[in-house]
Amino acid sequence: MKDLNRTNFKTGERPIKIMQFGEGNFLRAFVDWIIQNLNDSGVINSDVAVVQPMPMGRVKDLEKQDGLYTVCLEGIDKGEKVQSRRVIDVLRDFINPFEEYEKYLAYAKSEDLEIIVSNTTEAGIALDPTDTDLSVCPKSFPGKLLALLKARYEHFKGDTSKGLAVIPCELIDHNGDELKRVLKELAEINKLDGDFINWLTTANHFTSTLVDRIVPGYPRDTANEICEETGFADNNIVKGEIFHLWVLQKEPFVQEKLPADKSGLNVIFADDITPYKQRKVKILNGSHTSMVPLAYLCGIDTVREAVTDEDVGKFVQGLVNDEIKPTIDLPKDEMDAFASSVIERFMNPFIRHELMSIALNSTTKFKTRLLPTYNDYRERFGKSPKHILFSLASLIVFYRGKRGNEDIALNDSPEYLEFWKETWKLEDSTEIAKKVLSNSDIWEQDLAADDNNAEVVAGYIDSIVKNGERAVLKAFLAE
């Protein structure tokens, strides 16, 4: 078996037009995989310089293989099991700015550089007001980017044509707008020149994005098998699902420099990415959160088992089709296609997704992932969505902490665990339902004030405790 490097695996060389902040599994299995597709189809001609955003990272590990690594995609596509193996060759240069700050800043002078891509975790786009010495490597990602842009402004003497396309992939709302805001504020804290701040905010082109692909990472159980199959020893294999979606806010400069929608991939430039985010959070995350308590109480342990279960699968389909999709303003064919893809993703036989891993912080997840649908449904139809109420009742019973004779390893914020513990000291289901639904500190609204919610939820709680989740779910589906 050969080592995976550019001696044993021949590749071409392209100009480095993209700088990427982050070397983690997601960027390599998503953005770099997309860049590879765009190169291979002739849409762009670009390699990538990878910047390690934290002192601890893996750029050196990537450099040992000359940036080459294998992406393994596995899942269900149009009802068929699909597996693919592909060597990605777009990573060309590797920079640890904490050790190579001058090398990093030298990229500010590059005539080829056009695009900045980042995924530095949700906490990465945050203001660090102590980043006030740009002569040494700043601690924060915005600090590093500000230093690079300041050096570029100075080298090109404020030339507005040398601004960059900035494409953050961090999972926060309006990530492009937020990064631009943080950079401007940090520039002001550093008392940088007003002309530079104007160049920063007008010559550079920020776009907000939504990314979606499940990336489990390095496949420890099958890595040797994959290496035998490809014929290369590869310590940087990354595994992902087949499904992928990248939605970018329309921005002419960004579309010109990275026309990622031009090679048949699931990439969309949209006037407004909000409906797509609602679709993902409501359908993918919302159905995940809704199924966890009722499926687990039915004796099911994984997502795949849940959606293939006759009763739980029917419940999820009803929730998505009858209550979630009618609250999202996107074309019906797009909604139907996305909903079908979500079910296929849940059924992925190559990924074992434990329900209890999704159950982490279920109280907050119910509020952020299901209450928006609850409120939108009530606004449009004037009544409470019954699937969401049933899921809430199941969640309440889940937090009793028992599945038959088995203790449930509840994992939530201490204040919520204490609330659920105190709640279950009550013996009457109606009192339990009222206490939970009226807790505006948790839900930021009084759910007991709508219709006869407390009575309905209390009935479900009482029946689940007495008869078991499976029997009550069957009765619910038969209504």
pLDDT at 171 over 90: no
**How would residue 44 be classed by pLDDT, with cut points 50, 70 and 90?**
very high
Q: How far apart, in whole angstroms, are the C-alpha atoms of residue 86 and residue 33? A: 9
Distances (CA, A) of 143 to 55, 117, 121, 127: 14, 15, 15, 8
Q: Is 351 in contact with 216 (CB distance < 8 Å)?
A: yes
Each residue of 224-241: pLDDT tens digit?
Answer: 999 999 999 999 999 999
Q: Is 291 in contact with 307 (CB distance < 8 Å)?
A: yes
Q: Is 425 exposed, middle or buried (0-12, 13-18, 19+ CB in 10 A)?
A: exposed
DSSP, collapsed to helix, strand or coil, labels residue 358 as helix
Amino acid identity at 78: K
Each residue of 107-161: pLDDT tens digit?
Answer: 999 999 999 999 997 678 999 999 999 999 999 999 999 999 999 999 999 999 9
Q: Is 325 in contact with 335 (CB distance < 8 Å)?
A: yes
All residues at 6 or more sequence positions from 92 whose CB lies less than 8 Å from its CB, including other chains: 13, 14, 16, 47, 48, 49, 67
**How would residue 321 be classed by pLDDT, with cut points 50, 70 and 90?**
very high
DSSP, collapsed to helix, strand or coil, labels residue 174 as coil
Each residue of 422-458: pLDDT tens digit?
Answer: 999 998 999 999 999 999 999 999 999 999 999 999 9
Q: Which of 145-149, 247-251, 340-344, 472-476 has the lowest mean pLDDT?
A: 340-344
Q: Which of 167-171, 228-232, 354-358, 439-443 has the lowest mean pLDDT?
A: 354-358
pLDDT at 73: 95
In the Cβ-directed half-sphere of 30, how many Cα atoms lie within 13 Å?
29
Q: What is the DSSP letter of 123?
A: T
pLDDT at 78 over 80: no
**How would residue 185 be classed by pLDDT, with cut points 50, 70 and 90?**
very high
**How would residue 368 be classed by pLDDT, with cut points 50, 70 and 90?**
confident
Tokens of 375: 């409120």
Tokens of 370: 């299901």
**How would residue 81 be classed by pLDDT, with cut points 50, 70 and 90?**
confident
**How would residue 104 be classed by pLDDT, with cut points 50, 70 and 90?**
very high
pLDDT at 87: 97
Q: Is 478 in contact with 452 (CB distance < 8 Å)?
A: no
**How would residue 98 be classed by pLDDT, with cut points 50, 70 and 90?**
very high
Amino acid identity at 319: L
The pTM assigned to this predicted structure is 0.80
Q: What is the mean pLDDT of residues 306-310?
A: 96
* Percent residues over pLDDT 70 in the chain: 100
Tokens of 301: 């342990």
Tell me phi and psi for residue 332, to 5 degrees.
-60, -40
Indicate the average pLDDT of the chain.
95
Q: How far apart, in whole angstroms, are the C-alpha atoms of residue 19 and residue 204? A: 14
pLDDT at 80: 84
Q: Secondary structure of the chain: what % helix, strand, coil (to 5)?
A: 50, 15, 35
